[in-house]
Every structure is written in C-alpha cells, then in structure tokens.
Structure 1
C-alpha cells in the first residue's frame, strides 16, 4: 500500500500544473516534508530524489530555475571532467580482474540548494558537484574494499569523508562505501562503491525485496526493520494528539543516524543527537521511565550527553525515578517524547485523584456544608487556577486541607500561603575546594621535614591547591616567581601543560618516610539519589577514623553527587577508604578530586 501511495504521489507531482497555486504549494510542502523523507526511510533513493526535485520546483520556482540553468550550463564540462576519471578507473580495475560499472553522478537540484542554504554558499563556491559510483559485479563484500584501495592509490582520499555503510548499514538497509577523493585540477569528487545488489536496494529500497525473493537472506531483515519501525510509529500514535504525532513523525524522518551498543554488544540505531534517555526508551519503556543516568564507554555521563556512533551505553535505573518535564527538552526521538508525555500525564492523573480524595474527606468532615463554588473561590485565593491544580497541590503537600478550609471559611480574609514542606537542600559553600585547600595547606613549611627538595636546603615550600598532593603520590616541585616551591602531583594538569610550566623551573622532590601529618584530600562520589545515602557514606568514613573537613551534596534527575574534603595520612589510607565507599549500595563511581 505504501509503495502504491508513493507512485500515486509521484504522478500527482508530475501533473501539478493543473491545480490552483495554493493547492500546488500545499501538496509540494507535504511532499517535501513527509513523502520524500519517508521514501528515504524505505530505501527508495530514486523516488526520494524525484519527489524532492518536483517539490522544490513548486516551493521556490525562481531558485529552481536558477539552479537548473546553472547545472545545464556546466553539464558538458562536468561530463568531460568525469570521463577523464571514469575511463582510467574502469580500465585499471578490469586489469586487476574486477568486473565493474563506473558511473558519473551529479548532485540533484534540491541537494545543491540545501548545501547553499545550510552552508551559506553560492553555486560557484560548491566544489563537490562531481561524483563517481563504482558498481562491483560480485557478491563478495571484500571486493568493495579492494576496489577502494586501488582507486585511492591513484586519487588521494579525504579521510574524514570515509563512511562504511557496508559493515554498519543505515536503518533503511542502505549499504555502500562513501568517500571523497581529490581528482584532476584539485576538484573534490564524491565516491561510492557498492555491489550490484546493494545498488538495486539503494535505488529501489523495499521494492527490490521481491526482485531477489527467491534467494533472500539478509534482505528479509532489512524489510523487517522497515516494517518494525512503521509498526512502532503507528502503535505510539494512540498516546499523542494528531499534531504531536505528526511533529514527532517528521522529526524522526529527517535525522541522520548513529549506531550505539548495549553492554552485551547489541546494536541500536538512533537519530543523531540522541541522548542516554533516547537509548533507554529504545530498549524498553520501563527502562526509559526509570533512567537516572548512564555509563558511556565505562564513564558516567549526564542525561543530556550526546551519544556518538560506536558508543557502548549502559543505562542506570532506579525504581524511584519518574520522567521529568525537562526531559522533553533533551530527547530527540519521537518514541521517547511520547512515552515521557504519557508517563507525566499518568503521574498527573494519579496526583489529581489523590488530591481529590483528600478534598472529599475534608468536605465530609464539614458535613458537606460547602459547595464546589466555595472550593473554586478558595482555589483563587491560593493563586491556583483550576480544580486540577488544587488537587495536585494537595497531593504534593504544597498546601494543606486546613489552609483550604481556612480560605473557604474566611472569604474576606487573607489566605495563608503555601506550606513550605520541601526538604531543605544542602548548598555548596561559597568557597570551592581550591579555597578550602588553600586555607588548610597553603602554609609555608620550611621548618618541617615533610618533603625533601633536591639541591635545595631551607627553602620555603607549600602544597599546590590545584591537586592536593598526599604522601604516597608521585610529586614534583615547581619554583615560583617568589622563589618558593609549590609541590604538585606529577599528573597534575598544571604540570603536564607545557605552555604554562617551563622545564628549568621544575625540581625533583620526595616525601620523607617518617610523617605523622594529616593532609587534605578531595573525593567525589556519584550514585543513586535515595534516602539514607549520606548516612551510609559518612558511616563508612567514621569507621576509618577519618575527619571530614567539608561535605557538599547535589542531586538532580535521580543522580546524587557528594564532594568530600577529608584528612588522610597517605594514599594507602585514601585508596582503602575509596574502595570501601565503592562498595556502598547505590554508589556508581568514587574518584579523587583534583581541586
């Protein structure tokens, strides 16, 4: 049915002149925004190009005519240029034993227009209008890579333009090697290499499925992928309004793709710009709803982190997590947006139901002496506009039933303000860790024997506030302009930065063996935001007989971050403490702070 609809739309666009102008424009916009990208999604490359060019002709006729003339004027020159490459490439590859068809190809008008628009270029500034496609008459994928190797021996490739869609096909099943090479006279030439079957699927998409039906192997998987995507889209349609559905539908059609992996190695295709939340919802709705964080390639990342192709993503969940309205600004997939809205609406419905029950009990206590109108007046006194707002506020304890009752019984009085039941948040001190370190450790210690400085006696030194070295750390000294020495950890960024530190000002230093002094060290703990987490952490520290200088807490989107400054005697004690903290249930990472 979809294929027939595409053919019908293509016929309509070819006969569009018979319609009034306003209908032509409406149909052209619909074709550009829906039909052309949908054709691309189903792998119908030729159909997509035809639909885009026809839509462009009616949306911006002046620009269309301008580009058409420009392309026609340069056509003979372009053909002559490409033939200078096609003939020797064909000959060289046949000498190597490959059976190939080498085609010249040109950017189509709508593609040129988009490049001019998005890169703010004039037609004459676009230098990659040339393209060559090599179709290898074989089913051996390795031949495509071998052909690429032979071609790039003669024509230098541009490495950043290489894309391997054979090993990792696009979501619509498209397979090909893409690159760009430097041709004669320094022109950039786009290069595509694919087998004959890959070419058929690139041009005809799902329609090519039936051409090879008698010997289908992987092609069934490609068609199944298209149909699965369509079913998912339609299934999600019941949870959204028509406008929201179409908005998300168009959004998902346009995005480029990235390929990321689960911890087990399963590949997921997502739109470019996708976040860990998008990935979580791609796995399962419950995993998305409970997502509180993610590890990307083994490192904790924020929920708004942008994923990249090849990332290995592990979703961290909590049964106490609920989707937040802010997530809608983060996610890019249609599915994630629909599921988040559905979860938020369901939570809102439960809140309203809970608040309604509280309100009904309140009225029962007054023997129903007050009407709905009395309640509405009370709502207005609280600055709440609708009954739903009131019920939600009651459920969340933003106001109490006593305050509502007081407003009802004192129609001319001043209503009480909302009850402040929100838990107090621990705010970080105005002074950062560097300032705390400076207070505790920026002391001149020439009269102590904590550190030995090579070749220097009785020189004043202090510990750098940027890295807080502790006995056991590999350390190095840096002679300041005041003639004192700053002691840094060897891996401190301020030491490894060659632009900021000159080698002649670096001196060798070492810890003295017998030290009984406590040093300030910083630790950052990241974990699940749940009740009792702080008590568990401080409990572990107290068992180590370690004093805490300061502790700052921050929680957002279900992730708990605790920064500690503690006193320790050496790195062994510090490492042992960090190992214990890593074993606390709900802790994801424990790292040493540099500053």
Structure 2
C-alpha cells in the first residue's frame, strides 16, 4: 500500500521493504513514525497473490485498482490462460470435479468461460470469490407437506444438529458420512442404504457410489444438506521440502482459522527431503477449506496443498 502511495511504478516493482532498517515481509502493517525503505527491481510487475484478501498484501482500494489495471493491460490470451489454470488448480485443490465451467461462468454472470478466465487472470476476480459464489450451488429444498423432509443424525465424529442432512419421504434413519469421499457442506450428495448401518452419505461424483449405483440402483436415495450444517472432517495432503518450523507454521495457520486437526500423518523421504503431510481437518464449509489451503500453499518450501479425493 505504501509503495503504491509513493508511485504506481514503485508499487508494481516492489519486492521487499525495510522498516527502521530491518527487512520485513510485504504483509507487515506499518505504524505511524516508522521509516520505510521500499526495495524494487528494475523490471517486472505485481503478483496476483497481492489481490488475495486472505494473504493480506494490500488493504487500500488505490493499490487494488492499480494492480488490477496492470493485469488488464497485459495480453488477453495470457490472462485467459492464467485464469483457467488458477481456477482449475483451485477446483483440483478442493477436490471439486462435478462442476461444469460453463455453468460456473453463467452463475457469475459471464456469457462464456473465457470471460470468467480473463477476469480472474487480470485480477478483478479471485478464485476464492468464485468458490464463495458457488459453495451453496444446491440450496436446501423447500419443505413440502406431502413429502416432508426428515432430519437425520450425522457421523459419530460430530454432534449433528437436526438440520444437517435431510432425506425425502422416509422415516428417521441413522446416517454416516462416507470415509471414501468425505462430502463437505453444500457439495452435491446422495445416500446409499446399507445393510444394518443406515444410510451412508456420498458425494455424487464418488467413484464408490457410482459403482454401487450400477449394482444396486434401488438403494440410492435423494438427500440434501440442511440449512445449518455442523463441522465436517476432510482429508488434505501437503507436499513440501522439509525444513525446521514447517509444522509450526502450518498449525499456526490452522489455529488462526480456528480449524481443528483430528489426525496427522507425516512421512519424509530422507534422500529427497520431500515431506508428505496428511491431515484430517474439521471444517465448516468449502470456502473455509479453500482459504486454509491457499494460505498453506503460500508458506516457504510448500510445493502443493490439496484435498484428498
């Protein structure tokens, strides 16, 4: 923000800063009376990460506008390619496979997917904003008198509220979330009637559910999310070059986001120093998961962070 306040080009080429003689990150918040030295490069431009509200690089509207204008001025085809890659990476990171890009573009008011990609590419729209607009793609159905929606219980790991998962036209049934796909709130889901274990809730694109549907289609029933889902467990994988303090930095992000860790398993290859960290997190919705994975991906040495499917 300070660099853009000095001059637009200073902001574009800013790569670091010193405050009172000490090097600080670009997310450092300035205080009145401090002396600031902006470190710049001779060429280059802003990073799209600066526009992410979760990462805290810029807070002033002036800086955001200048950054977006810079990306708008870049080659349109490059912006489309960058936007496509960013959105596909975000969907892959969250384990989202059931959505069609043209439907997503239409939901956000774009006539064609390329317009959506270009808008993301030049920074006027972030992938987090896209996720926020589509996380409730399947709104809770209206309650009908003839076929009431009966609230049912949730998995053992969470104390379910009465409106967590709803089933049409059946009596009170025990439900549990499928361990194979672990559906998160507002993702498209379907129920499978088991023998003696009630109804198992799967994501609609779950490979196991599709196989079961081919063998026992009569056991597949319609289910939907209620209006107030509780927390849900989700498995994520973090791949990084191992370093001292990596686990501390990850747990710090989770603590700040108030995300509970239900389980952890870390394996490090001593020859390559590549660490693979599997975590089971307790989240409230896909948007929170997106925010957490984005912040973890920005940590030093982290190569990728994604939801396991």
TM-score (norm 2): 0.46
Query: Between Structure 1 and Structure 2, which shows a larger proportion of helix residues?
Result: 1
Which one has the largest radius of gyration? 1
Query: Between Structure 1 and Structure 2, which shows a larger proportion of strand residues?
Result: 2
TM-score (norm 1): 0.24
